A = this chain, B = another copy of it.
Amino acid sequence: MRIAIDAMGGDLAPGPVVEGALAAARQLGVGLVFAGPRDILTREIARHAPVDRVDVVEAPDVVAMHESPVQALRHKPASSIRVAIEQVACGNADAVFTAGHTGAAVVAAHGLLGMMPGYDRPALAALLPTPGGAAVLVDAGATVECRPAHLLQFALMGRAYASAALGVRKPRIGLLSIGEEASKGNELIREAHRLLKADPRLDFIGNVEARDLYAGLADVVVCDGFTGNVALKVSEGLVDALETLVREELTRTFSTRFGLLLQRRAFRRVRRRVDYAEYGAAPLLGVRGLCLVGHGRSSVRAVRSGVELAATCVSTGLLASLAEEAGRVGAAPA
């Protein structure tokens, strides 16, 4: 197995990206092919203990976070994100991991890999921490303009991901909305509700209210990419804001500071349980190849988890499961 890495993708690249990917490869015994400027990467790789089967493919350009994806990819054909995804397109790698520009990853993967039959639009499947484990949020930001049929396809993709890669036996599917009743939500959601409910092969539990997103009521929560991205990013911002607030209040007096000292390890556990780094990356589902998108601020640990998740997606045959689910799409009442 070989995984391509966009070595220059992410705010902190290439340092933590190279280190995290090498750690995962060492652990799992998989091969790597890093895309990026050869001289920089050779130096970075040499800073760590040697790992078998590590290649570098030259990619001198980088797509910056603020660039327009389409423009950037057109003007920078040798960008690390594009070259990394090409490794999958040409069969040189089984999966690709990038912590770079999400929009550019979606556009490049869509363009270079194409869509799988039965799926019209790509979707990012992010993992949400819940009391019972992780739930899948799909789409977390790949397709911001959706029709109801796309949401049905996202449900099937999410189902394939949850069962193949995460080992959930009979994934319960929910639809993110602003109320439990079928009549709640906007036109898109109401019509998608009808489609999901009409498909007898889906274990559809109905609408999941936004306030229950982290309650673990469903294994797969379906939404359009705009709403999913808002839900995810609001959560991220809120966790950071609360952490600042709690730290501020707990360092005010001697006794609260002393209390904090007693709880250091407990707070570290809290942080770990909510931390995106534990969940590493989101696969871009629906495209003809395995592409995992990590957080732009990915740490060593996050990259490592992301590459491990990529390997899991390969070894559990996620693409075959997605293709199998896609068969259902054709037969679904639309």
A236-252 interface code vs B (CB 8 A; 1 in, 0 out): 11111110011001101
B-side contacts of A215, CB under 8 Å: 237, 241
**One of B131, B226, B256 near A186 (C-beta < 8 A):** B226
Which residues of chain B have C-beta atoms less than 8 A from A239's C-beta? 238, 242
Decide yes or no: A270 and B249 within 8 Å by CB, A178-B144, A185-B226, A229-B178 being known contacts.
Answer: yes
Contact between A245 and B227, CB atoms less than 8 A apart: no
Contact A273 B245 (CB under 8 A): yes
Given contacts A214-B237, A215-B241, A231-B231, contact A256 B262 (CB under 8 A): yes
Q: Is A46 an interface residue (CB 8 A)?
A: no
Residue of A224, A226, A232 contacting most chain B CB atoms (<10 Å): A226
Option from B180, B245, B250 in Cβ contact (under 8 Å) with A274: B245
> Chain B interface: which of A53-61, A80-88, A204-212?
A204-212
CA distance A183 to B262 in the complex (A): 48
Asked whether A259 lies within 8 Å of B249 as measured between CB atoms, the reply is no
Closest to A71 in B: B183
Report whether A233 and B260 are in contact in the complex, using a CB–CB cutoff of 8 Å: no
Taken together as a complex, chains A and B put the C-alpha atoms of A66 and B184 apart, in Å, by 11
**B residues in contact with A105, CB < 8 Å:** none
A234 interface residue per 8 A CB criterion: yes
Which 10 pairs between the two chains have the least Cβ-Cβ distance?
A259-B259, A210-B233, A259-B262, A211-B237, A211-B233, A249-B266, A255-B262, A178-B229, A210-B230, A214-B241
Complex A-B: 27 CB contacts under 8 Å? A66-B180, A68-B181, A145-B187, A185-B226, A186-B224, A209-B233, A210-B229, A210-B234, A211-B234, A211-B237, A213-B234, A213-B238, A214-B237, A214-B238, A227-B230, A230-B230, A230-B231, A235-B235, A238-B238, A242-B242, A242-B270, A242-B274, A245-B270, A249-B270, A250-B266, A258-B262, A259-B260
